[in-house]
């Protein structure tokens, strides 16, 4: 039986570096990265992966140059507009994870439309982490739990990890099994900190615009190898360690 992660996260890094190496504006790297996004979605949908979370725009990304911010914000709408029909064909259920403040209403409308249209799909759960921060998600969940306590609908003595998780942006989303980061960066950059608690992390030097199916397959193979070794550690061969010395 194939060993597959149920939930994959990807930090899509290297767009600016890809463009700079070619003497192009940074936004061209993001534009080229759109096809890598779609290849990842197709691959995961076809392989039966249950959830894919893509770090599209962090809460810190608002500090980038205004032109780049405008492009990234509008690009999210264009991807949804152009690809919604394909998401439906693939059986993808799409939703936005992150804060809604600072996102223009016209962009939020597309996120909401895509979520509503794909809500009944039973294939890949595609999470677009936009205006997202891992610390902020935990803080927002804690504030919502505190408000429930203030209203009297929740008592502090029953709050545990499961209770707090119920206040997350997507309470039904399972922990991440595999995190992939491109462009060789060895950071998790405030991405889904709670969900990453037990994740395997694979870092590849490939820049995101060049990242394709073969790179995803390599990451899955690395994941399989680690899980196989993990199982081997817990299930030694019969008679191991019993030989006379």
Q: Which residues are known catalytic residues? A: 13, 61
Scored b (16 or more CB within 10 A) or e, 202-241 reads bbbebbbbbbeeebbeebbebbeeebeeeeeeeeeeeeee
Dig out the tokens for 33 from the structure: 């990265």
Nearest to 98 by CA among 55, 63, 62: 55
Pairing between β-strand 200-203 and β-strand 178-181 as defined by DSSP bridges? parallel
What six digits make up the tokens of 58? Answer: 């962090």
Q: Which residues contact 40 (CB under 8 A, 6 or more apart)?
A: 10, 52, 54, 211, 216
162: which 2 tokens? 């499961």
Please tell me the distance from the alpha carbon of residue 224 to that of residue 238, in angstroms, as a whole number. Answer: 23
48 by DSSP, 3-state: which?
coil
Which residues, including other chains, have CB under 8 Å from residue 37's CB and lie 6 or more apart? Answer: 12, 54, 79
């Amino acid at each position: 039986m194939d060993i597959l992660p149920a939930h994959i996260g990807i930090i899509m890094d290297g767009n600016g570096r890809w463009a700079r190496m070619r003497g192009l504006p940074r936004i061209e790297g993001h534009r080229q990265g759109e096809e890598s996004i779609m290849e990842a979605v197709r691959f995961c949908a076809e392989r039966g992966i249950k959830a894919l979370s893509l770090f599209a725009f962090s809460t810190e990304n608002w500090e980038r140059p205004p032109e780049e911010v405008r492009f990234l914000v509008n690009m999210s709408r264009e991807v949804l507009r152009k690809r919604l029909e394909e998401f439906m064909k693939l059986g993808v259920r799409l939703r936005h994870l992150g804060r809604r403040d600072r996102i223009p209403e016209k962009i939020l409308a597309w996120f909401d439309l895509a979520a509503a249209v794909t809500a009944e799909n039973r294939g890949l759960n595609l999470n677009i982490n936009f205006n997202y921060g891992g610390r902020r998600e935990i803080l927002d969940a804690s504030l919502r739990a505190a408000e429930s306590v203030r209203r009297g609908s929740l008592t502090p003595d029953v709050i545990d990890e499961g209770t707090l998780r119920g206040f997350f942006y997507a309470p039904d989303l399972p922990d991440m099994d595999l995190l992939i980061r491109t462009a060789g960066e060895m950071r998790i950059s405030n991405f889904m900190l709670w969900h990453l608690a037990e994740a395997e992390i694979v870092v590849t030097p490939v820049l995101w615009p060049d990242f394709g199916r073969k790179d995803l397959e390599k990451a899955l193979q690395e994941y399989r190898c680690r899980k196989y070794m993990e199982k081997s550690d817990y299930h030694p061969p019969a008679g191991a360690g019993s030989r006379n010395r």
